Amino acid sequence: MSDEETVQELSAELICEYLTKAIEDLKETNDYISYATLLDIHLSDAERYSDDEKSLILKTLIKVLEENPDISYEIGWDLPELLLGFFDLEWDFEGSLLRSTDVIKNVMNAFDVIAKSGNPKELFLRSIELLSGLDYSSLVGEDDKASKIMDIKLHVLIELLSTSLKRISTIYPSKFLAMALAALLKSYVSYNNVTSNVRIIARRLYLFARDYIPPLKPVDYIEQHGLTQEEADKLDDDENYLQRTLLQSFLTHIFGISFKTRSPSNSLHLYGSLQSKNTGKFPKFVIKSEGYEDDQTSSTKILFVRIITLMLSYDIEIEDEFTKLKEESVELFSNIDSNLEEDEKIQNVLKIAINDKVSHLFHPETEKIPINSSGLLVSIIYHALETQKILPISVSEAIALALRFLSPGVMSESFNNFGLYDAVLFWSWAAIRNATSSDFKNIPKYQIILYLQILVFYSSTTSDSDYRMITITLFTRVLSLIDESIAYDFIINTLTTAPYENAKACIILILKDLSIRERVNVDDISDKLSKTTITKEENKTLPKLPKRHYIELTKSRLEDVYALIRETIDDTFQENGEFASSEKFKLLLSYINFLITFKNKFAGDEIIEIKKACEQKVKNYKNSNKNPPSELQNGDNIEFLTLSLEFL
Amino acid sequence: MSNFYDLAPLDKASKPFPFSELKDKVVIIVNVASKCGFTPQYTELEELYKKYKDQGLIILGFPCNQFGRQESGTNEEIQSFCQLNYGVSFPILKKIDVNGNDADEVYKFLKSQKSGLLGFKGIKWNFEKFIIDKNGEVFERYSSLTKPSSLEEPIKKLLGL
């Protein structure tokens, strides 16, 4: 019979007896390592015990540790890992609260005893190590039991971290706090990579920050370190400053990490409220997202509002920080060489934004926690929602925020952050809701172009149709407010060079819309006229202002569009007659739709030429007997094109 | 604002409550909320007030809805709640903000005079307490966890009892 088999046959009662009796040997020999080995043997394979037996063994362990604090102190560092294992075992908790389950309660009590009498520095390091090593893969699929178990594991480890930190005796508490916060944020990042349901862990992080009490200094630290009172006071001030800064940074990082992949929906709510003011009705999608707001979403929102409250308590003056953030963002791009070509200026903006992003990243290995400006930007919206006060922001500031925070995501997917996208949309809408053309007059052209590129990129890549809609609406509104030639050139450049076919189809619709709609007021002329003091008589003699469209379709512009349509016809069908892609086909349909609207503006022979070219392609396609791409399996699509051509 | 006695927050009826009238009194200022775990502290605050008001103690409650939205009622509702549930007889002034840009001048002053844990100036939760001595100097600041009854000794000392 092997040793392992012998151990497996031992009853729980006998094991309890061994654990108790071994204390006598320990007292004689002071051989704590042997006692640790004994615990390891009997606790590391606890699944062989029934729930009652597990509880019996745990209660015995607690009793031993309570009566012999020296054991906790000497070998406490070894126990958390053994105890964590109990959470992963099978035990019956259905129908009862997890924490009232006997086994769980006993494991938590054991953690409590160790935290209070173990060696604080060792336990502190151990809890950091175990937190960093937590495996969150069980959370994939949102299993309720797995989620509850993970919550308890996080609870006991963070409590252990917190309690042992308070018990450490040091004159440099900021060093330990920095380590703790770095470990917590590292865990949060890992957790976020697995699931977007972050409420549980975010709450633990919030509680850690809220309840933080610094470690006590040794009573005789002044003598011990040979300090003068003045030096001791300065050390205190410095340490307090560092701890304040660390906690402030930590809170901003929580916001920066929390919404990496999940939408806070704040911009949707703002847009919805703006729409309701215009129409008296909330748009459908806002009603939809309100309907989705279950208890969990609601309690998550409350949690983030609590974090905002704590940020204010921890002297982060949110409104001042927003002012700083806006000023910094404008300043960031203010030194771009005006002699450069527009493209070079845009490249410079991208470089600056990436460098800025990297400088604010959290690096667990450095244990430095700079203020997370992205998190700050996201957090300010929660403050705005809580106070029902939308802070003032100009169009140029909103654009600078977009360039700073969203352009890195255009360059690399790893920089994408849904919370930032939402925040930039929020502040863009806040700035643009009452804007006029004059608000864009002093904004450099390259900034406007990059801003529009960012909006096109995010509207094309987001999988959320509500966000796509409000981004495109914003994009259209900006186009209607900026200089007409910039707007037109941007549209044509995008249609010519942008890699997003789905965006192109949408942009053609926008071009059509802007070419049909007339400007409500021709801002500059109207403004100047309204400000000029003129008599009624003089007024009578003034010529009536010509009606102007947002984008006038001049002869040369019609030629641009014509060339693009011809190109698209060739791109849509391959040489063998097949479809190139469904996106290309939809793009062609959009162009034909555009052509139908403006057919009287094009030369008659151009329309005939396009019609003939399309009809020939359709004929070739039908002769090819090929199936359309899967997205266009419905055979009506090609008929739809044929039908559209009849309207030309 | 450099002098406690220059302050004049608004009372429940939105009329100025000049602190110049508090000269020679020991003052406890507390940010209150009706739906907080610390709300029962009203009982001990009222006991302190009754016991020492004739010797020169005054307690001023400032309702604040910034912590967990636990003071969401109107000024009238708050007054009524305090009187009905805790028999509060010390003044409960107008609802204010204690943190952030819209913080009331009283709290800007108090926080500038005495920091909390780690030197943070912000108020952390409902029922933080400040004691101001007879000369208008902020004597001490106490967290929400500090029971009002434990303020009795410093109050007696400041009252010269």
Element (H, E) at A204: helix A199-211
What are the residues of chain B with a beta carbon less than 8 Å away from any beta carbon of chain A? 66-68, 99-102, 117-125
Q: What are B161's two structure tokens?
A: 């009892």
Rounded to whole angstroms, the Cα distance separating B32 from B52 reads 20
Q: What are A556's two structure tokens?
A: 């040369």
CB-based contact B123 A320, cutoff 8 Å? no
In the prediction, which pLDDT does A534 show?
A: 45
Does A315 touch chain B if contact means CB atoms closer than 8 Å?
Answer: yes
Task: Name chain A contacts of B121, Cβ cutoff 8 Å.
Answer: 315
Q: Which of B100, B117, B118 sits opposite A312 (nearest CB)?
A: B100
Interval B5-45: pLDDT, tens:
999 999 999 999 999 999 999 999 999 999 999 999 999 99
Rounded to whole angstroms, the Cα distance separating A603 from A558 reads 9
Q: Please report how many Cα atoms fall inside a 13 Å half-sphere around the Cα of residue B140, on the Cβ side.
A: 12
In the prediction, which pLDDT does A87 show?
A: 83
In the prediction, which pLDDT does B16 show?
A: 97
Q: What are B5's two structure tokens?
A: 């006695």
Rounded to whole angstroms, the Cα distance separating A372 from A360 reads 6
Residue A478 has pLDDT above 70, yes or no: yes
Backbone phi, psi, residue A368, to 5°:
-110, 140
Residue A575 has pLDDT above 50, yes or no: yes
Q: What is the ipTM of this complex?
A: 0.96
Rounded to whole angstroms, the Cα distance separating A588 from A646 reads 15
Say if CB A289 and CB A466 are below 8 A apart: yes
Task: Indicate the number of domains in chain B.
Answer: 1
Rounded to whole angstroms, the Cα distance separating A589 from A596 reads 11
Interval A425-463: pLDDT, tens:
999 999 998 899 999 999 999 999 999 999 999 999 998
The whole domain housing B137 covers 4-159
CB-based contact B100 A314, cutoff 8 Å? no
Interval B77-107: pLDDT, tens:
999 999 999 999 999 999 999 999 999 999 9
What's the burial of A639, exposed, middle or buried (CB within 10 Å: 0-12/13-18/19+)? exposed
In the prediction, which pLDDT does A3 show?
A: 52
How near does any CA of chain B get to the CA of A435, in Å?
Answer: 26
Interval A499-555: pLDDT, tens:
888 889 899 999 999 999 988 754 554 455 444 444 455 555 556 667 789 999 999
CATH number of the structural domain spanning residue B125 = 3.40.30.10
How near does any CA of chain A get to the CA of B159, in Å?
Answer: 31
Of A422, A419, A424, nearest to A404 by C-alpha is A424
In the prediction, which pLDDT does A529 show?
A: 45
Of A203, A204, A206, A201, nearest to A190 by C-alpha is A201
Mean pLDDT of chain B: 96
Of A371, A341, A368, A342, nearest to A356 by C-alpha is A371
Of A312, A286, A455, nearest to A376 by C-alpha is A312
Q: Which of B101, B117, B123 sits opposite A320 (nearest CB)?
A: B101
What's the burial of B66, exposed, middle or buried (CB within 10 Å: 0-12/13-18/19+)? buried
Task: Name chain B contacts of A319, Cβ cutoff 8 Å.
Answer: 100-101
Task: Name chain A contacts of B118, Cβ cutoff 8 Å.
Answer: 214, 240, 243-244, 247
How near does any CA of chain A get to the CA of B76, in Å?
Answer: 21
| Choice between A588 and B28, residue whose per-residue pLDDT is larger | B28
| Percent of chain A residues topping a pLDDT of 70 | 86
Rounded to whole angstroms, the Cα distance separating A199 from A205 reads 10
How near does any CA of chain B get to the CA of A312, in Å?
Answer: 6
- In terms of CA atoms, which chain A residue is nearest residue B100? A317
Rounded to whole angstroms, the Cα distance separating A509 from A127 reads 58
Active site residues of B: 36
In the prediction, which pLDDT does A209 show?
A: 97
In the prediction, which pLDDT does A368 show?
A: 59
Residue A66 has pLDDT above 50, yes or no: yes
CB-based contact B99 A241, cutoff 8 Å? no
* Global confidence as pTM: 0.87
Mapping DSSP onto H, E and C, the string for A259-328 reads: CCCCCCCHHHHHHHHHHHHHHCCCCHHHHHHHHCCCHHHHHHHHHHHHHHHHHHHCCCCHHHHHHHHHHH
In the prediction, which pLDDT does A202 show?
A: 93
Roughly what angle, to the nearest 10 degrees, separates helices A555-572 and A484-497? 20
Rounded to whole angstroms, the Cα distance separating A297 from B52 reads 48
Q: What are A58's two structure tokens?
A: 């745990």
Rounded to whole angstroms, the Cα distance separating A196 from A417 reads 12
Task: Name chain A contacts of B100, Cβ cutoff 8 Å.
Answer: 312, 317-319, 387
**CA-to-CA separations, A218 to A70, A170, A173, A254, in angstroms, rounded:** 21, 6, 12, 32
